[in-house]
Amino acid sequence: MARRQDGGPRAAMTASAVALMRERGVAATSFADVLAHSGAPRGSIYHHFPGGKSQLIEEATRSAAHQLTDRIQRILDSGDTVTAIRSIVDLWRRVLEATDYVAGCPIVAAALGTEASARDIAGVSFTRWTEMIGARLVGDGVDPARAATLATMLVSALEGGLILAQAQRSAAPLDAVVGELELLCRAAGAVTPTE
Amino acid sequence: MARRQDGGPRAAMTASAVALMRERGVAATSFADVLAHSGAPRGSIYHHFPGGKSQLIEEATRSAAHQLTDRIQRILDSGDTVTAIRSIVDLWRRVLEATDYVAGCPIVAAALGTEASARDIAGVSFTRWTEMIGARLVGDGVDPARAATLATMLVSALEGGLILAQAQRSAAPLDAVVGELELLCRAAGAVTPTE
DNA sequence: GTCTATACGAAGATAGAC
DNA sequence: GTCTATCTTCGTATAGAC
């Protein structure tokens, strides 16, 4: 009934735009690239995206933000924060290995890109993730007054570690970050799995 | 005597390239932009940079890396790690406020850019910073086995916090990160100023 | 909804005059 | 060492046919 998502060219194009943004950034992602990558018919660009590239990038960013937010929420729902951190890092690691360390976080690409609206969406996304993680930390026993700053630290360190991993073509920075974050969470009073 | 750095158009162009990379990334930084920003004579592009844009970006990245590395080293030499973190964040904060939150870290721009050689320089730069900070941590009393991962955490969290700050147009993420990093350093045994 | 053709400008790069 | 002119390619965007 209310299914108006269309799985056709439009969805394929936003998905491809996300993939290309992750690998080369917003500015270096062209329509021609998106068409080639998605296999979408050439004539449907401005039919589906009358706002041109701005609109495509904006919708791609929104799509990536929703997807990642959902994924993070599911991870947070299925365990404590420390376990969630490990899951997220495993996710990044798989992406890096599958793309020869070229693909990063699409939201970071949007944040550092040339499209103002996409940058704003990135900002909201980061805020959202921070709030979600903060709530999870409180549930784990962390002092609510502390949870917000700790959550910001988690997001920042994971995104930064991912960038170092891309630049060094190695997952080692992510491993270092996850270890330090675990220590920090435990010291802050978050429950930990006894494994 | 061995001063062969030239303060002319060439230096002005690399400096402008760095500034533009910080604001809009590597891909969106064109020769025309660099010329306009630096005021360099139009005819001197391929005279000074026969390798074209690749060479310009590579040299700009190298220049930015040297500058930042020197700056970090000086900061680390003048106090303990916790004090250094505050100084670095203050530096970022001034940059953000002076540029309406558009300018970020040039090395991150290089790491996520389209120029392979620049990305490699970024990777080496991050490694270098990590080693420098690690040495400082050891000097502060941190267990040498721990210093490397903690140093990686510092670099990752600061770079990530800077990106969140840019996206949210607020220095708040940096403040959160610096607070958490201080806790982590203290818990790791780094000496702290009694202030 | 999708096609081709095309306009228009920007960007990287080269040649040859001064 | 710097200039102008030019070439080519690419990218965005539009028009109009199918």
Average pLDDT over residues A17-45: 95
- pLDDT of A172 reads 98
pLDDT at B136 over 80: yes
Average pLDDT over residues B32-38: 96
pLDDT at B97 over 80: yes
- pLDDT of B3 reads 37
- pLDDT of B39 reads 94
Superfamily grouping for domain B9-187: Tetracycline Repressor, domain 2 (1.10.357.10)
| Domain extents in chain B | 9-187
Phi, psi of B2, rounded to the nearest 5 degrees: -85, 50
pLDDT at A195 over 60: no
Average pLDDT over residues B110-120: 98
What six digits make up the tokens of A96? Answer: 């890096």
- Mean predicted lDDT score pLDDT of chain A: 94
Nearest nucleotide from residue B43 CA, by C1' atom: D2
pLDDT band, very low/low/confident/very high, at A1 (cuts 50, 70, 90): very low
Q: Under an 8 A CB cutoff, do A176 and B152 touch?
A: yes
pLDDT at B127 over 90: yes
Average pLDDT over residues B45-72: 97
**First CA to last CA across chain A, in angstroms?**
45
Per the model's pLDDT, the better-predicted residue between B163 and A193 turns out to be B163
- pLDDT of A114 reads 97
Which chain B residues contact residue A157 at CB under 8 A?
A: 153, 156-157, 160, 177
Burial B112-148, CB ≥16 within 10 A → b, else e: bbbbebbbbbbbebbbbbbebbbebbbebebeeebbb
pLDDT at A163 over 60: yes
pLDDT at A61 over 70: yes
Q: How many CA atoms lie within 13 A of B85 on its CB side?
A: 33
Residues in contact with A4: Cβ distance below 8 Å, sequence separation at least 6, in sequence order: none
If one looks up domain A61-187 in CATH, what number appears?
Answer: 1.10.357.10
How many Å does it take to go from CA B186 to C1' C8? 60
Per the model's pLDDT, the better-predicted residue between B71 and A6 turns out to be B71
State whether residue A113 sits within 8 Å of chain B by CB.
yes
pLDDT at B2 over 80: no
